[in-house]
Amino acid sequence: MKLQLPCTILGVCLSAGAGAAADQEEIVSLCRDGHLQARAAIRQLSCDMEVRIPATRMPNPYTGKMESQPAEVQHFSWWADQDVARCTASFGGITEDFLWRDNTLKTIETVNQRGIANIGIPVGRLDGPDAIGYSATTAWGYALFFRPEQIREMMSPQKVVSASEEVQGNKRLYKISINYDNHYLEDVFFDPGRNYVVSKSVTHNDLQDLASQHIHEVSRFTEPKPGIYFPASVKHTSIYKGKTEANETVVFLNVRVNETIDSGKLQLRFPAGTQVTDTRRGKAYTVGDDEQPIGPETPVGKPGDLAGERFYPTAMQPAKPWATIALWTTAGFVVLALLLIIRRRRAVRDAP
């Protein structure tokens, strides 16, 4: 009998441990598959976005001095139909236009600030699959929807630290803690009552300083079609060593889901005279009326990898290895969170 008690206790402990592991695996599976289905249900998406940045003080990146920054509203518009998407942006005297089509990211940027040498001259880029997804804002990122291949990777057993159920306010959420190769930690909260869309994420960029974090939280949702949920607003808070450093709110307007999109909204042409950098070919040139190079072409580096995995900005993506997923996963929300600050610093630099 003396030997049976420890064995009984051990058996109970092992059973409880196995049950906990099974519960965690079940939660991860529910959140991953539910989130993939929630995103796949949105075949067409169009919306306007306002990034509302309150007045604040921040260091000038060139002088180090603290400077007052006025309140600002940045404007974006988004149209997507399956694997074609376009985004226009306007902020700080700069306009940008992005188009994802045929495995290419096409970009036009125009600066309209006084005192800039190339004022009003459009600058273009053509990027292949090795760069697509890293250099443009997407409504999906602002709305806390993960790319399909991204969520599959981040939900792997090697990265999931824990998965549990939590109640926040009157909502039952699933919290999944993820360790990105010891680079940073992220807690992602999925809402099972809204088809497992993400309602909140908390990112710790410094594993030695968990008091510093980026928080993205949906303030409220909209239901543009029955059973399809999309954020109406998302608040981003940056906390450094326990002190709030920045706040921004992204407001989604005129959200339309699974409605026909004007084909003209999914087109983008380089105007004659656009100075284009084509990273696919490793060349820079100026284009004419037909978007073809006129004049000499200048080498600008090694041609890009055109054999990379196809990037789908909207539609489902097959479960295949993604060579550069580590880059996107590490950049992910951090890039989106810092994008606004970087643009504001450019505005400070370029101001007359």
Q: What is the pLDDT of residues 51-93, one digit of tens each?
A: 999 998 777 767 878 888 889 999 999 999 988 999 999 988 8
Return the amino acid letter for 341: I
pLDDT tens string 98-157:
999 888 899 999 887 654 545 668 899 998 876 655 455 689 989 999 888 889 999 999
Burial of 300 (0-12, 13-18, 19+ CB in 10 A): middle
**Would you state the torsion angle of the CA atoms of residues 122, 108, 327, 313, taken in this order, to the nearest 10 degrees?**
180
Name the pTM for this structure. 0.76
CA gap 211, 209 in Å, rounded: 5
Judge whether 95 and 89 are in contact, CB under 8 Å.
yes
- DSSP 8-state assignment for residue 170: T
Q: Which of 194, 261, 190, 260 is nearest to 226 (CA)?
A: 194
* Exposure string over 244-272, b if 16+ CB within 10 A, otherwise e: eebebebbbeebebeeebeeebbebebee
Residue 47 confidence (pLDDT): 97
Residue bearing tokens 């042409």 = 269
Name, in order, each residue with C-beta under 8 angstroms of 188's C-beta and a sequence gap of 6 or more. 31, 175, 176, 178, 198, 200, 201
DSSP 265: G
Across all residues in the chain, what is the average pLDDT?
Answer: 79
Q: Which domains does the chain have, with CATH numbers?
A: 21-350 (2.50.20.10)
Task: Go through the chain and tell me how many residues it has.
Answer: 352
pLDDT in the model for residue 228: 97
- Summarize the confidence of residues 338-348 as an average pLDDT: 40
Residue corresponding to tokens 């989130």: 35
